[in-house]
Structure 1
Amino acid sequence: MTVHLAPLVLRLRRLAVVGALLSLAACAVGPYDTDGLSDLPPQDSPFLRDLSREYAALGDMERAEYDWPDTARFYDRAIRAAKGEAFPPERLDDRALSDAAQEELGAARARLVALFGAGARSIVGPDSARGQAAFDCWMQEQEEGHQADDIARCREIFLAAVTAIESAVDGALIVLLPDTDGVVGMIRVETPQGSVVLERERESAVTGDTQSAPQSTGTFLVADVEAVFGAALAAGPTPPVAFLLYFEQGTDRLTPDSARKLSEVLEVVGQRKLPQVEVSGHTDRSGSAAFNDQLAQDRAELVAQEVLGLGVPERVVTVVSYGERAPVVPTADGVSEARNRRVEIVVR
């Protein structure tokens, strides 16, 4: 009886090699395990929360198909979103695509990015997250090119999400931003149908028309504030800058620290194309009211002369004396207080 062992040994070796490759692949995807996502604090942004979930789901699907590179790619994006990073959809050159696919996907990406530039990620976060993840899914399936049903499914989800986004961003957008001093005020957005009060930084609302109530849209992403309002904010006037200079008691001599700070004041004035400079002099209450009025005037004029020395027209420099009448630290008459011996400069 003859026993042929060679084919059996060959099959066993082949199984051993396949098993080794699968083990290596499983190890390779280990660092992209999303179990750690549950330990991260949830993001305030509905867009970032849903974007992380969408990418994790895409990673799970690719993992089930043993597509380790795309598993890693999608899990990495899920983790980045969970940590608060608002990043764009994939670029066309991230994938190997045919010319026809590039044309269609390029138009789709431009449509989505334009909506993001209008604040869509903050206005309608869940749909925006779905649209971005579906676009990246469409790109990935299109690159593989052999699963027509999956390509069609990702494309369909993308188009539905973009259609929903376009209807949601159609209206007036109001976002509450701090003023130049960093103070956040309050805005009431009102139509005959209702109102919304905005009182937290980057809180926002959208109004369609007078026949519908304004809708609160939550807190705007910092990236979306820059995308929507960056050009307008940059074109606005440079915010005013205020300085305090202090003086030796009973004199118009600056303290050493304030003498050094005067150069900073002059530098800011010199940087403005059309500066407006307001200089006000103050004293403490250690002398008579008449003496303090003149001393405050002398102090203010000393600083003003330094400003005028830069070539700033005299008509844009305002000088005023408050004497002892506007103390920073209220004191009794006759009391010396260093913080009240000052000149205040506002450069606009």
Structure 2
Amino acid sequence: MSRIKLLGAFAALSLLAGCVTGYNIDAAKEVQPGNVSAFNAGLVKEYRDLTTFEADKMYDWPDADLFARKALAAANGETVLPEELANWDLPVDKIDEMAKYRAELVSLLDAGARTRVPDDAARAQGRFDCWVEQQEENHQPDDIAACKNDFLAALEKLKVTPAPMAPDRFTVYFDFDRSNIRPDAQAVLNDVVAAAKKEGVSEFSLTGHADRAGPPDYNLRLSIKRAESVRDYLVGKGFMPQNISVAGRGEADPAVPTADGVREQANRRVEIIFQ
């Protein structure tokens, strides 16, 4: 990422032999998935390849380290999500297009693509992150186009694969310090509504969560507000509020364990269970 690359470059020159960055990169180049899902195994390959390319071909240590950490997390069975655009210095005229495609990707992943077509889903996520990284640098048009085109081709495969039978558990995600329903969450909630009506479900359990950025008491209140936003959406679709239980866990039950103060998209969520 450009805003840290100068710092990363100096760190790489002076500390590469023993620094955490160098360790992550070396480990990721050799990592093999453990007892993980097929989707996570696919992510390991995607991020391992990106790590090797950025380190050995581009000498871009910060971004190589980013992809290395994602490869290692996937190999460990952790939830790894597509890059958040707010963390990157992208050209202003590209942000809307990329945000639209990220929302579409996340919606398809949450709708079951991770288990339905794990290899294509992993390819789509890896190539999206590649596109983000290349687009931020914005000086190698051929590499930008290659990542983007590979992503779009994989994304199309997620769309045309028939959907499985509806699950009884869904997850929607939220922006940092927000409880409003964003477009990708709305798409998942529409799937919840369709599945519930098809299965004759009228009762739901909603549990809100937060990441560890902010005080614990604030995060508890925020997690409840997120669950209440989902409840209000379902009520707006015709479900009875007395049939929807709402709870908040704050930062106490993370999907991805982090240090205190760390922002993590996977932890800003509401889990929906059919009763």
Secondary structure class of the residue paired with 2:165: strand
Q: 2:24 aligns with which of 17, 32, 39?
A: 32
% identical aligned pairs = 37
Instruction: Please tell me the residue identity of whatever aligns with 2:60.
Output: D
> Any gaps of 5 or more consecutive residues in structure 1?
1-17, 178-224, 239-272, 275-348
Q: 1:56 aligns with which of 36, 43, 48?
A: 48
Q: Is the 8 A contact 2:39 2:114 kept in 1?
A: yes
CA distance in 2, matches of 1:149, 1:55: 20
**1:226: how far off?**
11
Identify if the C-alpha distance between structure 1 residues 117 and 176 changes in structure 2 by more than 3 Å, giving closer, same or farther: closer
1:148 aligns to 2:115 (yes or no): no
Query: Which residue of 1 is the match for residue 106 of structure 2?
Result: 113
CA distance in 2, matches of 1:32, 1:141: 21
> Any gaps of 5 or more consecutive residues in structure 2?
1-8, 170-187, 206-241, 244-275
CA distance in 1, matches of 2:32, 2:189: 26
**1:173: how far off?**
2.1
1:43 aligns to 2:58 (yes or no): no
CA distance in 2, matches of 1:26, 1:226: 48
Query: Which residue of 2 is the match for residue 244 of structure 1?
Result: none
Secondary structure class of the residue paired with 1:118: helix
**1:110: how far off?**
1.3
Q: Is the 8 A contact 2:12 2:61 kept in 1?
A: no
TM-score (norm. length: structure 1): 0.44
**1:114: how far off?**
1.4
**1:156: how far off?**
0.6
Q: Is the 8 A contact 1:34 1:56 kept in 2?
A: no
CA distance in 2, matches of 1:227, 1:59: 37
How many residue pairs get aligned? The number is 175
Identify if the C-alpha distance between structure 1 residues 78 and 38 changes in structure 2 by more than 3 Å, giving closer, same or farther: same
List aligned pairs for 1:130-145, cutoff 5 A: 130-145=123-138
Instruction: Please tell me the residue identity of whatever aligns with 2:53.
Output: M
Query: Which residue of 1 is the match for residue 13 of structure 2?
Result: 22
Larger proportion of strand: 1
Instruction: Please tell me the residue identity of whatever aligns with 1:55.
Output: Y
Larger proportion of helix: 2
**1:104: how far off?**
1.4
Give the aligned CA root-mean-square deviation in angstroms: 3.6
1:67 aligns to 2:60 (yes or no): yes
Q: Is the 8 A contact 1:117 1:228 kept in 2?
A: no
CA distance in 2, matches of 1:141, 1:49: 24
Instruction: Please tell me the residue identity of whatever aligns with 2:129.
Output: D
Identify if the C-alpha distance between structure 1 residues 116 and 228 changes in structure 2 by more than 3 Å, giving closer, same or farther: farther
Query: Which residue of 1 is the match for residue 203 of structure 2?
Result: 236
> Which of the pair has the greater relative contact order for Cα pairs under 8 Å at 6+ separation?
2
- Which has the higher Rg, Structure 1 or Structure 2? 1
List aligned pairs for 1:117-196, cutoff 5 A: 117-168=110-161, 170-173=162-165
TM-score (norm. length: structure 2): 0.55
Q: Is the 8 A contact 1:119 1:228 kept in 2?
A: no
Secondary structure class of the residue paired with 2:44: helix
CA distance in 1, matches of 2:123, 2:165: 22
**1:139: how far off?**
0.5
Q: Is the 8 A contact 2:134 2:140 kept in 1?
A: yes
Identify if the C-alpha distance between structure 1 residues 154 and 37 changes in structure 2 by more than 3 Å, giving closer, same or farther: closer
